[in-house]
A and B are shown apart, each in its own frame.
Chain A
Amino acid sequence: MPASTAVQPRTPPATGAPPRPAARVLRIGTWVSVPVKPRSVVVGVLIGAGLFVTALLTLTLGDLGVPITRLLIPFGAELGAQEEFVLSRLRGPRLAVTLTAGAGLGIAGALFQTVTRNPLGSPDVIGLAAGASAGAAAFGLMWTGIIPLPAGALVGAVVAMVLVYAGTGQGFSSPARMIIVGIGVNAMALAFVQWIITRTTREQATVIAAYLNGSTASRSWDDARLMGLAMLVLLPCTLALSRRLQIADMGDELADALGAGAVRTKVAAVVVAICSATAAVTVVGPVAFVALMAPQIGRRLTRAPGPNIAVAALTGALILAVADLAVQQGPFGVQLPVGILTAGVGGVYLGYLLMKEWKRISV
């Protein structure tokens, strides 16, 4: 996974900058099919390289790490029982889940932020993640056995979005209202989760601990497959939308005139974003602020307009992978859920953005 993301953007058409625009369209697999600036490609390659290094470190560091020499020799070489176990049970699935979920969150954030035209319109802020944890808590601890935990998270996320949609009185058309109503929905969902926790024993509560703070610990290949499948379905959708979104970004009327169908495009983008975020949240729980940070950082790095979906996805994966590496190997005593780390770091970054860079935007 990391190797392929690192390789994909490195393709002939984009390295030079031929004069004809048609030559600068990058089409590789399902990742990118947008006009690409050289800078974006360089950034993408660098982030991909960062991902590769982070993935290697994740697999090799620590007591149970697999030595790098054994990891890099071609497949088919024998691995010890312990190394086999670490790779196939512990860190392998965890890494795969981390990378795909991070990418999913990055895509969701990029789509949301483009549609709402607001850097703060992200699934975290409008209560989607909290709704998912409420759903997971309800179906995991209270009404157990009706539907599996991930389905419960999905139900919670959808209910939260319906509440936000109904609560604003204007649907998703007013970002400002969406954010404030989302904060309200967020508060209700968290209160609900807290209530469920207090009425269960501590042992039971640990069952859904991942869904409360967001955690990538002890994930299985099933989780990785679920998330990977979601990405496989959603990436082509995102790809199909990304051109139209870029046009829709120019304003509704112009977009309509250009045949992009502004409203239809936006609704489709919101639906894809919600699916993507919900898939990620279902697998790793409400990991805070990744969806918000990834497109912002990506955009600052590439300095390109538009959704920058590929870079956002790569950045999201990198953020989550680095955070996960930090909680695995960092000096925290116990293994913290990765969501706590991203909430702390992301919150500080968000505060910095609010103070330094968003003085002028009209929130």
Chain B
Amino acid sequence: MTTSISSATPSPASTEAHGDRGRAARLALGLLLAAAALAVACLASLAIGNKALSLSEVWLALTQPGESYAHVVVDSRIPRTVLGAVAGTSLAVAGVIIQGITRNPLGDPGLLGVNAGASAAIVTGIAFLGVGSASVWAAIPGAFLAVVVVYVLGSGRRGVTPLRLVLAGAVITAVLTAYVQAVALTHPDAFDNYRFWVVGALAGRGFDVVGEVIPFVVAGLGLAILLVPGMNVLALGDDTARALGASTALIRVGGAASATLLSAAATAACGPIAFVGLAVPHMVRPFTGPDHRWLLPYCAMLGPVLLLAADIIGRIVVRPGELMVGIVTAFLGAPILMLSVRRMKGRA
């Protein structure tokens, strides 16, 4: 099942109606493995870095109270690990949803300018409205506007095409990045703390950030779960979906709201990070097929794995310095974008 969502793919519901219980069991097992991978990634994120710890040291530091050096190191890495897990889930699920509602294999909150919208709004808040920090409340209107504008620009006479959407996203990103740059240049003092955030980084953000974004992530995920049946129907094509009694408009609005919440939260937490939302669904889909009931939980588990892995890579490759996670994801994700373009054949 290497195909992307398209009307040609057989309905997932019908394959299961044929009693493919072995497949369901295999997928459930895979989900367990994905959860295990997430646990490993979290532990690795606590252990690996400038000061490397062994897993047993990490385990001891986590389970027993104390004041040792290992405790200090682990404590300093916990916030960025939790943040990576939350942001990874948000971005990957937002990617699935955008790909689902636009029926477009190139959906990604970073690629389509949603993250840029969120950061432009945050920058506006900090520079002109006196908002003290990168707040989700500031990010949401920006992200939502970007979703709407990209969708309007992306829909041509022959409907929404992947290339149009990506192009519209690139335009939005270019304009908003210019805006962010201009504001940052004219208010250098306000943005000294945000030099790393602008690139997308997990480091240097505390638990208060996690606490602030969690409610939005939960709301976005809840909405996404509600939309799962709808997106499965939408994958059959608009006409079929309507004939089956689904409200395509409602599904799209709900999906846009969910993707907005998730990517606004992720952007407020760690800056605009691209390609996680693109890459994770593409890596997962060959295994799960197009059924969102499996796609969504898999992405929720493996999104953080990818983001944490990128963060760990960023800590290793330029020791003793660090590479911001947004930079690593760009280098991991751009080749995936190229591969998925090749897979699209003539459809672009």
Interface of A with B (CB < 8 Å)? 120, 124-125, 167-169, 174, 176-177, 179-181, 183-188, 190-192, 194-195, 198-199, 213, 288-289, 332-334, 336-337, 339-341, 343-344, 347-348, 350-351, 354-355, 358-363
The answer for the CA separation of A280 and B174 in the assembled complex, in Å, is 19
Contact between A343 and B175, CB atoms less than 8 A apart: yes
- Which label, helix, strand, loop or mixed, suits the secondary structure of the B interface? helix
How many residue pairs, one in A and one in B, have C-beta atoms under 8 Å apart? 132
User: Does chain A have a CB within 8 A of B72?
Assistant: no
For residue A354, which residues in chain B have a CB less than 8 angstroms away from its CB? 153-154, 164, 167-168, 171
Contact of A191 among B153, B327, B338 (CB under 8 A): B327
For residue B182, which residues in chain A have a CB less than 8 angstroms away from its CB? 332, 336, 340, 344
Q: A180-B348, A195-B323, A355-B153 are in contact. Are A213 and B178 (CB under 8 A)?
A: yes
B191 to chain A, nearest CB (A): 11
Q: Which of B169-201 touch A at CB < 8 Å?
A: 170-172, 174-175, 177-179, 181-182, 185-186, 195-196, 198-199
Contact of A177 among B156, B186, B323, B341 (CB under 8 A): B341
- Which label, helix, strand, loop or mixed, suits the secondary structure of the A interface? helix
Contact between B324 and A183, CB atoms less than 8 A apart: no
For residue B195, which residues in chain A have a CB less than 8 angstroms away from its CB? 198
Contact between B274 and A363, CB atoms less than 8 A apart: no
Listed residue (A180, A198, A344, A355) with the most chain B CB atoms within 10 angstroms of its CB: A180
Contact between A350 and B341, CB atoms less than 8 A apart: no
Contact of A343 among B154, B177, B186, B335 (CB under 8 A): B177
For residue A333, which residues in chain B have a CB less than 8 angstroms away from its CB? 186
For residue A195, which residues in chain B have a CB less than 8 angstroms away from its CB? 199, 323-324, 327
Q: A183-B166, A184-B334 are in contact. Are A198 and B196 (CB under 8 A)?
A: yes
Contact between B335 and A184, CB atoms less than 8 A apart: yes
Contact of B199 among A177, A194, A337, A360 (CB under 8 A): A194
B340 to chain A, nearest CB (A): 9
Q: Which 7 A-B pairs have CB atoms at the shortest separation, nearest pair first?
A: A347-B175, A343-B178, A191-B330, A184-B334, A176-B348, A184-B337, A191-B327
Contact between A347 and B178, CB atoms less than 8 A apart: yes
A152 to chain B, nearest CB (A): 19
B152 to chain A, nearest CB (A): 7
Q: A169-B342, A177-B348, A348-B175 are in contact. Are A188 and B181 (CB under 8 A)?
A: no
B122 to chain A, nearest CB (A): 17
A303 to chain B, nearest CB (A): 22
The answer for the CA separation of A145 and B270 in the assembled complex, in Å, is 35
For residue B172, which residues in chain A have a CB less than 8 angstroms away from its CB? 347, 351
Contact between A358 and B156, CB atoms less than 8 A apart: yes
Contact of A355 among B111, B152, B177 (CB under 8 A): B152
B346 to chain A, nearest CB (A): 9
Contact of A363 among B163, B324, B326 (CB under 8 A): B163
Contact between A187 and B334, CB atoms less than 8 A apart: yes
The answer for the CA separation of A179 and B335 in the assembled complex, in Å, is 14
User: Does chain A have a CB within 8 A of B4?
Assistant: no
The answer for the CA separation of A273 and B288 in the assembled complex, in Å, is 45
For residue A351, which residues in chain B have a CB less than 8 angstroms away from its CB? 149, 153, 168, 171-172, 175
Contact between A289 and B174, CB atoms less than 8 A apart: yes
For residue A213, which residues in chain B have a CB less than 8 angstroms away from its CB? 178, 181
The answer for the CA separation of A359 and B333 in the assembled complex, in Å, is 30
Q: Smallest CB-CB separation from A343: which chain B residue?
A: B178
Q: A180-B341, A336-B185, A344-B179 are in contact. Are A188 and B163 (CB under 8 A)?
A: no
The answer for the CA separation of A337 and B178 in the assembled complex, in Å, is 10
B13 to chain A, nearest CB (A): 32
